[in-house]
Structure 1
């Protein structure tokens, strides 16, 4: 992933259709959904974690790691 830039953006919630819970983890929940007619996984941080800067940074670090993965099933 060296040399690539990840740009943080917010996806408008009204454009995301949440279809069902896949699983729960230590930081939040992962849902199945659609965005722009594409199947997506949506990970949401638990509300009680959103005010903990370390947990938010860990969550963002994981998102950056996932953004760098290239695989036809991701």
Structure 2
């Protein structure tokens, strides 16, 4: 059994967005759920929309799930 979820959405940065890692590998900086889903899709996750609220798969650290801080940069 795993000790923690393999995907981590880290706390929002000071400028907005949240770093996303999978088993310690950085996938990118997500500014919304669409970014998160795309990173997971590119990492090979089937149906990423179905797992983003599953704590067995995704751990949301520092802040509320689906809150990405400041708006996406222009």
Q: Where on the TM-score scale, by shorter chain, does this alignment land: which range?
A: under 0.3
Query: RCO greater where, 1 or 2, for CA within 8 Å and sep 6 or more?
Result: 2
Q: TM-score, normalised by structure 1?
A: 0.26
Q: TM-score, normalised by structure 2?
A: 0.26
Larger gyration radius, structure 1 or structure 2 = 1
